């Protein structure tokens, strides 16, 4: 049975979980030096202004217990009872295993402390009192190139399905449009539309081509555009990428969302 470890936490945070993609401030040339996980503005629209918190030991999380930090990640509830809003993918993070969750906490406790106040999120939409009932325990999913482990990586860990599922009025429509794509991301690079990652959208690509795209390179050699965390996904093991692809190929084929 797996146990929490710094090695596992390092792999998850710096690899497929890609926490720095939202929590590390960025400039025109990428992540700002000496600001890893220090918080940043993630999204501003009519519904909300979302600020990813500073999650280094130089922030208020230093005063939280490990269990409080873990609960904020997996359940989206801070120690004061307030709820973390979108785009933090709490609906998927609720499936993080106990061991992986505590490995991530272990990693966050030892990153360099950065004193930075990125601001506070503002929501013009109602947030739920909770994203579900309290979580007692989540068992580890056996690692391997399997559909089951690929589902765990694409869901709770890497939250691929959060961005690649068609959005409705209350967020991703997991029940009816899982993986169908269509959400538009706007940034300095222009506009990116999350593609369909069901067999409908992936059918023309080989596994090797898909692996390259997950890690940032199109089959023709062009670089993929943000906001996918390609630098972090490049740290994912070949087996983990293969498991994700195996899972995506198993999804029901759906028409493109939008």
Q: What is the full DSSP assignment across 59-77? A: SGGGGS-HHHHHHHHHT-B
What is the predicted pLDDT for the residue at 215? 92
Q: Quick one: pLDDT at residue 255? A: 96
Q: What is the pLDDT of residue 57?
A: 98
Give per-residue pLDDT as tens, 104-148. Answer: 999 999 999 999 999 999 999 999 999 999 999 999 999 999 999
Mind listing the pLDDT tens digit for each residue in 178-201? 999 999 988 888 899 999 999 999
Q: Is 140 helix (H, G, I), strand (E, B) or coil?
A: coil
How far is the C-alpha of 219 from the C-alpha of 201, rounded, in Å? 15
* pLDDT (average), residues 88-95: 96
The mean pLDDT value of the chain amounts to: 95
Cα 121 to Cα 49: distance, rounded to the nearest angstrom: 5
Q: Which helix (H) or strand (E) element contains residue 186? A: strand 184-187
Kindly report, residue by residue over 10-58, the tens digit of the pLDDT: 999 999 999 999 999 998 888 999 999 999 999 888 989 999 999 999 9
Tokens of 228: 């996918």
CA–CA dist 94, 173 (Å, integer): 17
- On whether the CB atoms of residues 184 and 193 are closer than 8 A, the answer is yes
Q: Is the pLDDT of residue 2 over 80?
A: no
Report how far residue 167's alpha carbon sits from residue 200's, in angstroms, rounded to the nearest whole number.
18
- Give pLDDT, residue 171: 84
To the question of pTM greater than 0.85 for the whole model, the response is yes
User: Which domains can be identified in the chain, with CATH numbers?
Assistant: 6-123 (1.10.760), 147-250 (no CATH)
Q: Lowest mean pLDDT: which of 63-72, 135-144, 220-229?
A: 220-229
pLDDT of residue 85: 95
Residues in the chain: 258
Which residues lie across from 52 on neighbouring strands?
40
Mean pLDDT, range 71-82, rounded to an integer = 97
Q: Kindly state the percentage of the chain with pLDDT values over 70.
A: 99
> Looking at the predicted structure, is the pLDDT value of residue 252 above 60?
yes
3-state secondary structure of 113: coil
């Amino acid at each position: 049975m797996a146990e929490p470890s710094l090695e596992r936490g390092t792999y998850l945070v710096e690899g497929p979980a890609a926490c720095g993609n939202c929590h590390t401030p960025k400039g025109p040339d990428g992540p700002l030096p000496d600001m890893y996980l220090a918080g940043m503005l993630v999204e501003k629209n009519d519904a909300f202004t979302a600020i990813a918190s500073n999650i280094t030991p130089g922030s208020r999380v230093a005063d939280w217990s490990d269990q409080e930090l873990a609960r904020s990640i997996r359940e989206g509830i801070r120690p004061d009872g307030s709820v973390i809003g979108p785009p933090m993918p709490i609906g998927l993070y609720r499936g993080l295993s106990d061991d992986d969750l505590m490995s991530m906490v272990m990693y966050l406790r030892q990153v360099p402390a950065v004193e930075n106040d990125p601001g506070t999120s503002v929501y013009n939409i109602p947030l739920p009192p909770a994203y579900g009932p309290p979580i007692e325990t989540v068992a580890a999913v056996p690692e391997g190139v399997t559909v089951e482990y690929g589902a765990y990586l694409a869901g709770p860990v890497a939250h691929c399905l959060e961005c690649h599922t068609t959005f409705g009025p209350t967020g991703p429509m997991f029940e009816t449009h899982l993986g169908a794509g269509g959400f538009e991301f706007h940034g300095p690079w222009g506009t990116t539309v999350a593609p369909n990652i069901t067999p409908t959208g992936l059918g023309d690509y080989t596994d090797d081509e898909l692996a390259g795209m997950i890690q940032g390179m199109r089959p023709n050699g062009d670089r993929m555009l943000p906001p996918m965390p390609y630098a972090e996904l490049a740290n994912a093991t070949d087996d983990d990428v293969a498991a994700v692809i195996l899972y995506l190929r198993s999804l029901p084929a759906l028409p493109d969302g939008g």
